[in-house]
Amino acid sequence: MSVSSINPANEEVIETFTPHTEVEVDAALAKAEEHYSNWRLTTFDERAKLMNKAAEVLESHVDDWGPAMSREMGKPLAQAQGELKKCAWVCRHYAENAETYLKDEPIKTDASKAFVRHLPIGPVLAVMPWNFPYWQVFRFAAPALMAGNVGLLKHASNVWRSALNIEDVFKEAGFPEGCFQTLLIGSDKVEKVVRDRRVRAATLTGSGPAGASVASIAGDEIKPTVLELGGTDAFIVMPSADLDAAVDTAIDARTQNNGQSCIAAKRFFVHGDIYDEFRDKFVEGMKALKVGDPLADGTNIGPLAMKSIRDDLAEQVDKSVAAGARALLDQPDLPEKGWWYAPQILEEAPENAPAAKDEMFGPVASLWKVTSLTQAIERANDSPFGLGSSVCTTDKGEMEQAIRDLDAGSTFINSKVASDPRLPFGGVKASGYGRELSSDGIRAFINRKTVSIA
C-alpha cells in the first residue's frame, strides 16, 4: 500500500511513496553490514571531511528543502530553514569534536598499560518522529557516523520526502554507500528490523507506547536503546524575574514548532505576587500570534501536522474545560481545510484534567497560580514525564533549589529549554533514558573496550 505526504495546511496530497519490500529492507541491512566493516576502519579525519561536506550540502538546500519541510509538516518556513542550519551545526560539531570525545582513557593498574578504547558497534536503527524531521535524525546520525557506526532510518510515515532527502545528504557529501540508509517502512515492520542479527542497537524519538514497544523488543534481543519520549515541561516564574522577558520566553517556549515539541514548556506555574500581570501579558502575547500559511512571511503558527493531532488536542482542551479549567482565549475563525488550532491558555485546570496530566501537542498552555517555589516544584514533579524544565528567577537560592529538586533531564534558568550540540539532551521517568548530543551522544552506541597490557 502506498504512503502519502499530505499538506496539513490544505489537506492536498503532496507526494506518494511506495514502501520498501521485505527484500529491499533485507538488501539494505546486508549493505549496512557489509559497508560497516570498511567504515569502522576509517580515520576520524576521513569521517570529519565527509561530515563537514554534509553540513555544506544541508546549507545548500535551505531554500528548497525548507519550504518542502513546511509543506510536509506545517512548521513556519523560517523555523524549517533554521532547522536545516542547525543540522549543519551538529555535523560540524561532531566533525570537530568526535576524536576528542572518543579518545582513549588511560587507567592506572598493575599492568604496564591499561586504557578504555571507544569502538563502534555496527548498524544502528533510528526510529524518528515528524516534528523536527531533519534535526531529530541528524542529532543521531552525526555522532553515530563519526563514531564509526552506520545508520538506518525508519522515519515517521508522514515525512518520507524529508527521509529521502536526508539519505541524499550523505550521498551528495560522498559518504560510502551503506553508511546511511532510509528504510521506507511502517511501524509494523520495525520489530523485524530490531530483531535482525545485523542491527546492533536502536534509538527512538517519539511517543511512550512506540518507545516501550521498541525497547522491549530490543531488550528481548539484548540490544541497547536510547529513548527520547514525550514531555509536559514545567515553566516556573518567580517574583524576582524580569517579567516581560519571562512572558516573551514563555510564549516562544510554548508555541515553537506550532506547539509540537517535546521540550515545549506546557505547564506554567507563576507566583501569586506577579500572577495577574503575567497572565494578562501572556494572554495578550498569545492572542497576537499570527496563525496561517506556514510559507507566508510573518506567520507564527502553522497547521498541526496531522488531523489526529488537531482532533486529539481539541478533545483535550474540551475535556479540561469540562473538568473546570478556564479557557482564556477565543478560537478565531480558521480555514475549513487544513488542521488548524489557534493558541489557547487554560487556567487552573484541576489535577485530573488532561491539561494537568497529559502531554498536549499543540499551542495550548496550562497556567496555575502558586504560593512558593517549593509548591511550584512539587506541582512540576507531579507528572509521569521529566524531560526539561525552566525557571525564571534572579534569586541564587531559588536557582539552586530548582536545579536540585526539579525531577527532569534539564533545568534552564531564565530561558527556554533548547537542544544544543554541546549539551547533553534527554529525560527521566516516562520521558525516556539515555542522552543524545555532546560527548554523551557519541558514546551512546559504543563498545567501551577495556584494554590491559601486562
Active site positions, annotated = 228, 262
For the CB of residue 363, give the shortest distance to ligand NAP in the complex, in Å: 14
Q: What is the DSSP string of 245-295?
A: HHHHHHHHHHHGGGG--TTSEEEEEEETTTHHHHHHHHHHHHHHPPBS-TT
Using a 10 angstrom Cβ sphere, with 0-12 exposed, 13-18 middle and 19 or more buried, the burial of residue 407 is: middle
Applying CB under 6 A, the span of 207-215, 285-293, 337-345, 399-407 interacting with ligand NAP comes to 207-215
Task: Single out the residue of 42, 52, 213, 414 in contact with ligand NAP (rule: CB under 6 A).
Answer: 213
User: Which of residues 121, 156, 250, 417 is near ligand NAP by CB under 6 A?
Assistant: 156
Query: Angle CA(279)–CA(282)–CA(284) in degrees, nearest 5?
Result: 110
Strand, helix or coil for residue 2: coil
Kindly determine how many residues on this chain lie close enough to bind ligand NAP according to the rule CB under 6 A: 30
Which x/- pattern, by CB under 6 A, does the window 281-320 give for ligand NAP?
Answer: ----------------------------------------
Which residue in 230, 302, 303, 441 binds ligand NAP (CB under 6 A)?
Answer: 230
- Judged by CB, which is closer to ligand NAP: 156, or 246? 156
Other CB atoms within 10 Å distance of the CB of residue 41: 10
Q: Is 152 in the site for ligand NAP (CB under 6 A)?
A: no
Paired strand residues for 228 = 205, 432
The site string for ligand NAP over 333-372 (x = CB under 6 A, - otherwise) reads: --------------------------x-x-----------
State whether residue 385 is helix, strand or coil. strand
Is 76 or 432 the residue whose CB approaches ligand NAP more closely? Answer: 432
Q: Taking contact as CB under 6 A, which single stretch among the options 59-67, 340-348, 369-377, 424-432 is the one that binds ligand NAP?
A: 424-432
Interaction between residue 218 and ligand NAP (CB under 6 A): no
Among 149, 157, 344, 366, binds ligand NAP (CB under 6 A): 157
Residues 229 and 264 sit within 8 Å (Cβ to Cβ): no
Measure CA of the first residue to CA of the last residue in the chain; give whole Å: 60
Binder of ligand NAP out of 54, 137, 262, 291 (CB under 6 A):
262
DSSP one-letter code for 301: B
Residue 185 and residue 199 in contact, taking contact as beta carbons nearer than 8 Å: no
22, burial (CB in 10 Å: exposed 0-12, middle 13-18, buried 19+)? exposed
Provide the minimum distance between the beta carbon of 231 and ligand NAP in the complex, in angstroms, as a whole number. Answer: 6
Three cell numbers written together for 287: 492572542
Does residue 58 touch ligand NAP according to CB under 6 A? no
**Rounded distance between C-alpha atoms, residue 196 and residue 144, angstroms:** 19
Beta strands in 52-176 (DSSP E): 105-106, 113-120, 123-127, 150-154
Out of 127, 150, 169, 437, point to the residue binding ligand NAP (CB under 6 A): 127
Q: What track of x and - describes contact with ligand NAP for positions 175 through 194 (by CB under 6 A)? A: -----------xx--x----
| 331 counts as binding ligand NAP under rule CB under 6 A | no
Give the residue with the Cβ less far from ligand NAP, 380 or 387.
387
Measure the CA angle with vertex 443, ends 265 and 390; round to 5°: 15
Q: Which of 128, 146, 152, 417 binds ligand NAP (CB under 6 A)?
A: 128
Q: Per CB under 6 A, which region of 11-19, 85-93, 210-218, 277-285 contacts ligand NAP?
A: 210-218
